[in-house]
Amino acid sequence: MIKTYFYSHEEDHMYHDIDLSATDDLLSSPSNLLWIDLYDCSESELHYVGNIFDFHPLALEDCLQESPRAKIDKYDDYHFFVFHSLRYFEEAEEEDEISSIELDVFLGANYIVTIHPIALSAVGKVARISLKDTEMMDRGPEYLLYKIVDNIVDDSFPIIERLGERIDDLEDNIFSSKDKHITEEILTLKRTIILLRKVLIPQRHIFANIRGRYSFFVNDDNVPYYLDLADNLNSILDTVNTYRDLVNSSMETYYSILSGRTSEIITILTIISIIMMPLTVITGFFGMNVDFPGREHPSMVWYILLGMFCLSLSMLGFFRYRKWV
């Protein structure tokens, strides 16, 4: 599906679902802005838009395939971006709890093309605002890109907050719960955090490199917005790194607790075995089919049982004296 949004600077008016055959006339003025949004589009629709702007075949091929990480490619008169939006389903199967949706963007001097496999709320919010207010489109295509990516980043904050709550619950439960749910929760959180870092780290590198400069042109009026976006990404990544350390620490603590419980059980079983060993020897000795003094005495069995009981008590007393139990 192809949706179009055209802003005429001269008329200060927004047009929706325009005819793309007149693209050259629409973009004749550098102050105008054309936004083409494609989602769940066919290969023919993608190539149709690509032919209008003469996009490079390699960039179009990237749109048809799923890219593993965010990136930016510079061409002669436009930039090609790959971003990822996060979707979080806590009640779904573990492997599908969190997933990423690719967003491909072509950014030109006075146009922007967005491509995504399904409808994205981050893109839909910008589209709804643009139809009601022309201020966003009047700021240029890089501001429109900022708003879309900023919505993607904002959608990550509820996920981060929920992960924080789950980690707090995990830290409370590792000392009381003994079932395998704790192990499953730890592994699920680790997978989720790995995916978050895999998505967010490359996106941060797009907007600011080690020199603090952007890898694509941004108007001076829009620079503060991108600085704020980079700060938000840094804040999220710092939180995710903290969560990673907390989960690793919780895992080490939980396995230490399990190891301590196992050692305690082994100690108890060992003590029981040691106590039973002399009792087994005694019962085996007196159970032999031979005569021994006092065999016919009617109270001999009670004497033997009393001796075995006193032996067990003395062994337990010795273990407690040595602080083994």
| pLDDT per residue as tens digits for the range 72-85 | 888 888 999 999 99
Q: Give yes or no for residue 224 having a pLDDT over 70.
A: yes
pLDDT (mean) for 6-20:
85
In a 3-state reduction of DSSP, which class is residue 79? strand
The separation between CA 6 and the C-alpha centre of its own chain, rounded to angstroms, equals: 36
> What average pLDDT does range 165-171 have in this prediction?
88
> Quick one: which of 135, 72, 134, 64 has its CA closest to 105?
72
d(CA 165, CA 253): 18
Residues 6 or more apart in contact with residue 235 via CB below 8 angstroms: none
Average pLDDT over every residue of 94-122:
87
d(CA 121, CA 100): 13
- Which DSSP state fits 315? H
Mean pLDDT along residues 162-179:
82
pTM more than 0.85: no
pLDDT number for residue 178: 62
Please check the confidence at residue 210 and state whether its pLDDT lies above 60. no
